[in-house]
Amino acid sequence: LTQSCERVTLCYELLVDVVERAMDYAHLAQIGREVLEECLEDVFTTVGDRAREAAEAAERLLQEEEAKRQELLAIETAAAAAAAEVAAELARIQEAEAAATAAAAAAAALEAENEKTEVISPKEGPVAEPSVFA
């Protein structure tokens, strides 16, 4: 009976030791779980922050690209307007050149006509006969 009591006592002590160790392991597991949760939270926060920063950077790039596109469109519009002005000015110059050419041709024709026609001066020309009806 004494031996049995000693064995029961020994088993009880072993059981208490096992329970204490199990409680220690459970406590360590709880600490590990809390640390892991904090790490995961930090990772998710960091990943979320990085994803948000990347999205903001992408949005900025899109806005910059749109601004550049608008600027290029404005430049193209201004260039087209300038080209239209140049074309209009060229047309005016060609019109003026054509008018000058026509005026020069008219002046040359008038001069040629003047050379063909002799102008008789009253002093140089024949004397007119007195009119019967005068």
Using CA atoms, how far residue 72 sits from 59, 63, 66, 75, 132, in Å, is 20, 14, 10, 5, 91
- Tell me the pTM: 0.45
pLDDT tens, the chain, 134 aa long? 778 888 889 998 999 999 999 999 999 999 999 999 999 999 999 999 999 999 999 999 999 999 999 999 999 999 999 999 999 999 999 999 999 999 999 999 888 888 877 555 555 555 555 555 55
Domain locations in the chain as residue ranges? 1-76
Q: Please give the structure tokens belonging to residue 95.
A: 């019109």
